[in-house]
C-alpha cells in the first residue's frame, strides 16, 4: 500500500537530513525506534504528540515549535464545509481553493488577500 507523506513527516525528514543527522541518531535521542520515526517521516503514522515536539526542537537544528505546529496543521489537510454558506461565500471559498491548488497567485495578491482575511486591511 502506497503512503502519501504528511507535511509534518516530510518536514522532519528534510530538517533532519539538512542537519546531517541520521534517522537512528534522532530516534535514539527521542527514545523511540528508528522504525517508528521512519513511519512518521513517510506518513504511515501521523504527527508526534505535542509532548514529543521539544525532543525534535532539541535534537534537530532549525526546528521550532511554531514550524511543527504549522506542519501538524497542514498534515491533516484543510477541509471546509460550504454547503450551508451563502452563495457568495461558496464562490469565494471555491475560487480561492482553486487558485491555491494551481499556485498561480502573484506574491502581491497573496499579501493583499492575507491582509484582508486577517483583518489587517
Locus of grid cell 494551481: 102
Predicted confidence (pLDDT) per residue in 23-80, tens digit: 999 999 999 999 999 999 998 888 888 899 999 999 999 999 999 998 888 877 667 8
What lies within 8 Å, CB to CB, of 4 at 6+ separation is 43
In this prediction, residue 10 has a pLDDT band, given cuts at 50, 70 and 90, of very high
CA distance 33 to 13: 15
Considering the chain, what percentage of its residues have pLDDT values greater than 90? 69
**Mean pLDDT, rounded, of the chain:** 90
What lies within 8 Å, CB to CB, of 39 at 6+ separation is 45
pLDDT recorded at residue 5: 53
pLDDT recorded at residue 45: 87
Domain ranges of the chain: 7-75, 87-118
Residues 35/102, Cβ–Cβ less than 8 Å: no
CATH class as words, domain 7-75: mainly alpha
For the whole prediction, is pTM greater than 0.75? no
Burial of 119 (0-12, 13-18, 19+ CB in 10 A): exposed
pLDDT recorded at residue 3: 45
CA-to-CA separations, 31 to 23, 34, 56, in angstroms, rounded: 12, 9, 11
First to last CA, the chain: 47
Provide the 8-state DSSP code for 32: S
Residue 13: pLDDT over 90: yes
Amino acid at each position: 500500500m502506497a503512503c502519501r507523506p504528511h507535511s509534518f513527516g516530510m518536514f522532519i525528514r528534510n530538517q533532519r537530513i539538512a542537519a546531517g543527522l541520521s534517522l537512528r541518531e534522532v530516534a535514539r535521542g527521542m527514545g523511540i525506534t528508528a522504525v517508528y520515526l521512519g513511519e512518521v517521516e513517510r506518513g504511515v503514522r501521523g504527527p508526534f504528540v505535542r509532548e514529543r515536539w521539544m525532543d525534535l526542537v532539541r535534537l534537530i537544528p532549525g526546528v521550532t515549535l511554531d514550524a511543527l505546529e504549522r506542519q501538524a496543521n497542514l498534515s491533516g489537510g484543510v477541509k471546509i464545509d460550504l454547503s450551508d454558506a451563502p452563495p457568495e461565500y461558496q464562490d469565494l471559498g471555491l475560487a480561492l481553493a482553486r487558485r491555491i491548488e494551481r499556485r498561480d497567485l502573484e506574491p502581491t495578491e497573496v499579501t493583499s488577500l492575507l491582509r484582508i482575511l486577517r483583518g489587517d486591511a
